[in-house]
Structure 1
Amino acid sequence: MADKTTFCKCHEMQPHNRSQLPLTPPATVEKLPRASDASDFSGLIRLLHHYQHRAKFVDLAPWIEINVNWEQYDLLRETIERLFQRFDFNPNDKTLILRMPSLVHDFFSTLLAQELQDELNSIASRGGNTGTFAADITSGGSSRILLSEGELGSSHVMRRQPDAQFQHPEAAYPGVVLEVSYTQNNKNVSKIAQDYILYSNGDIKAVIGVNINKGQDANLSLWSPKYTWSTEDEVEVLEAEERISNVPFRLSNGSAANETMCLELHLSDFATDALCSRQEAVLVCITFKRLFDLLLRAERLEQARESAAAGGVKSRRVTKKRRAPSSSAEELQSEDEARYANLEEAAAERTSRDDEGFETATKPKGEAIVS
């Protein structure tokens, strides 16, 4: 059955000759292991360990999608959390997304988040109710967001870990989130923006999407909630409206574009309406020229760290390295990790056998079992 197949689509870059490669991994496709059936949890566990192991030695794609249904995710959640620092899960399209951002991705996200925080700090310094409100907004990094305001009757929660986010201490959801992508188009980010807005019931009020694909235009997009009244259903209809659509701030030739344009947010975007209905209209603006400068800085930081040609400054001190002896706790931790992996696979194989036995026992005579 189609929904019982677990597989992965991946874009990867080998780490050798980094100085000759573009900073952003190219879109090349590699065939990888696959689990043959949804009941074959051992195959999925092997696939997850495969990526976790490869990530130690090579630059994997920043965005890896694996088909995983809710039952698989629910059973393997602790394993996934142990193996990967950042991941998303969408129960609607049965997709587990492993996030492995590159250095330029992380540097740019951090720099842009700091720029927004500086703007909030400037507003906070004015004092009064507006200043107090701005001072309460906190940058949340890539901490997980559990989106639970989905369709009625669904108990499945969507999980996202954005590149940056900003939240009021009394709000259930962040008001502003940032997603940085490398895709040739913004189709994926557009879908993710809709998820953020619809599944937070509009409490996430601004989704900033930045596309920094090397060799292509670097673009900015912005989505916000849009409410319209349905006379037929007598209820407000919530949609995600794209206010800025793929507007470049750097062209493919490396030159700045639309320098005087701004990423413009309202202070009230940073929290749900229930917390900011009385706030005065205050704008938070980041110019496209500033976005250009931040991306250039992020690329220089990556080059200094990873490119031999860039010649990042290092200490010239001559030293003899002496490693401290491994503690018994560290040895136990290493042994525990190996034991956990073996136990996970053994449990998965038992589950697979039990499921097969249950299907065989419940099938009428003469009916074939379809896997």
Structure 2
Amino acid sequence: MSPESESDLMETKITPSPSQEKMLSTSAQNVLNCFSLHRKGQRPRSWWQHRLTPDQYADVLRVLDGDESLRGYVEDKIRLDYDPRRSRLTIRNPSPLHEIFCAEVVSKIMNRLTELQKSDEAFGDFARKIQYLSTSNIRLPNDTNDIQQTYSQRCPDASFIHEYAKYPGVIIEVCYSPKIRAAAGLAEDYILDTNASVKAVIALNIEYRGCKKATISVWRPNKMTVDGVKELEAKAVIEMMPFRTESGLPVDDSKQPPLQLSLRDFAPKTISQKYPNLDQDILISSKELCDFLSSAEAAHQKQLLGQGVEEPLSPGTRKRRRAQTPSEELSSEE
């Protein structure tokens, strides 16, 4: 968050109602103030993190329960992660560039899934049961020795889930500094906390300052035996592999496309093992990723400059708006 926003954060203080008499910690108050500033249009940087213990997070939720308007805004407009294991709250605020690029990658995967869905073979039926989720909330159970189960909340940039699965099989995160530093931890949580129900976590890092370099990382579940004990880890099978050079050109990937998925990646083994022949490839080359990113950059720049063709209004034409109904008018509380 910028210095100006940090100052505003201290000045914009939400006062708990009398029913919320319990004194709020500074951390809980700062988070609530950030929510309020967000609603006023003063957004934090793309990846804003704040230390917040589970008890402090519970206090934040308690205050939101007493402020229906702010709670509705937070639930509807703020992309939020909360990790009780690390006592960390994260507000995601991706730019249009990241969202456009992510949409391009998702579109490519969806087009390939649509092709596979047309098949009369068993894998076609499997493919027809795969759903795309856009910025959905995922609750991940934490490993705990306590009696009470705790959960992390995650809001990935994109994910794909099988109709019968509890968790997505494939997750995509579009990264930027400092989010890229959190990517390995995110991938580990997605894979380990779902007992490897998540089969592939893809991180696309598209912001390297001072150059046009872009990279891809992919994590998958890896099961092994160490000293006679079975262990599950999130293994980086591709780590910071460039798909675009510093000068903006696609990397030669004639040996191996950087993004490789198969249908079996989209569901837990208990589901996929019932279907034969799921080794149907979904491939995206470096050139395609590079083209998607260049297209997203051009679209973002056009938005920033206000460019593009619009429908002209005939001279002398007035715009007639309908009158607001009483139900549409805001009350003083709203």
Q: TM-score range by the shorter chain?
A: 0.7 to 0.9
> For 1:175, which of 146, 166, 169 is the aligned residue?
169
What are structure 1's unaligned runs of at least 5 residues? 1-9, 13-27, 338-371
- 2:173 is paired with a residue of what secondary structure? strand
The within-5 A match list for 1:78-93 is 78=64, 79=70, 82-83=73-74, 84-93=77-86
Aligned length, in residue pairs: 303
Which of structures 1 and 2 has the larger relative contact order (alpha carbons within 8 angstroms, sep 6+)?
A: 1
Runs of 4+ in 1 over 4 A off after TM superposition: 40-43, 78-81
TM-aligned CA deviation for residue 226 of structure 1 = 0.6
> For 1:120, which of 89, 113, 118 is the aligned residue?
113
Structure 2 length normalisation: TM-score? Answer: 0.82
* Aligned Cα root-mean-square deviation (Å): 2.5
Contact 1:149 1:201 in 2 (8 A): no
Contact 1:54 1:60 in 2 (8 A): no
Corresponding residue of 2:134: 141
Deviations 1:231-273 (A, max 9, x none): 44x4x21110001111111122212213434111121110011
CA 1:149/1:124 → structure 2, altered by over 3 Å: closer, same or farther? farther
Corresponding residue of 2:333: 336
Structure 1 length normalisation: TM-score? Answer: 0.74
TM-aligned CA deviation for residue 29 of structure 1 = 9.5
What are structure 2's unaligned runs of at least 5 residues? 14-22, 65-69
Amino acid paired to 2:126: F
Contact 1:186 1:246 in 2 (8 A): no
CA 1:184/1:144 → structure 2, altered by over 3 Å: closer, same or farther? closer
The within-5 A match list for 1:250-265 is 250-260=244-254, 261-262=256-257, 263-265=259-261
Corresponding residue of 1:275: 271
Corresponding residue of 1:242: 236
- 1:115 is paired with a residue of what secondary structure? helix
In 1, the alpha carbon distance for the partners of 2:166 and 2:4 equals: 39
1:193 aligns with 2:187: yes
> For 1:49, which of 23, 36, 53 is the aligned residue?
36
CA 1:135/1:250 → structure 2, altered by over 3 Å: closer, same or farther? same
> For 1:162, which of 136, 146, 156 is the aligned residue?
156
TM-aligned CA deviation for residue 170 of structure 1 = 0.6
TM-aligned CA deviation for residue 289 of structure 1 = 1.0
1:39 aligns with 2:37: no
The within-5 A match list for 1:295-314 is 295-308=293-306, 311-314=307-310
Contact 1:149 1:200 in 2 (8 A): no
Contact 1:150 1:198 in 2 (8 A): no
Contact 1:48 1:80 in 2 (8 A): no
Contact 1:175 1:204 in 2 (8 A): yes
- 2:216 is paired with a residue of what secondary structure? strand
Contact 1:166 1:174 in 2 (8 A): yes
Q: Percent identity?
A: 28
TM-aligned CA deviation for residue 148 of structure 1 = 1.2
Contact 2:47 2:178 in 1 (8 A): no
TM-aligned CA deviation for residue 101 of structure 1 = 1.2
Corresponding residue of 1:354: none
